Structure 1
């Protein structure tokens, strides 16, 4: 079994990682916004902490397929070794 922490709080992520109990991180734009942080910068910082999958999510406000693909590629490019991109499930 693998555990993933679901937060955007880098202090919580660092603490869980230091305990050796997490395999990766899931987060999303709303969690990062609650932390008052920049989305891309926060994902990049998380990638310096955790050596496992990091789930970055295309914003739900991105509604067209071309925009989702562009945003997804930008998220992936932040750290191709670790980044996993989630997209909103829409008809697009």
Structure 2
């Protein structure tokens, strides 16, 4: 009714993404079409210490990702200096830094 006020509480489901699941700096190239961002990223293989270029798609509404699997490492820094199959070493943050 006009003149009345109320309170609203919103509870988000844990499955809802509030930010992009892949950082902007990780994309080599990407495009956004119909709520889907797709492009290429570097994926790090800890067993071989090598990177490989991978095509990835992210549904910006549901947050679902195709092209990478849970637990795989996506490179977020220095992506424009890498080449396919290059050996790299991950940077691990030290305490106090």
TM-score (norm 1): 0.22
Larger radius of gyration: 2
More helix by share: 1
The answer to which structure has the higher strand fraction is 2
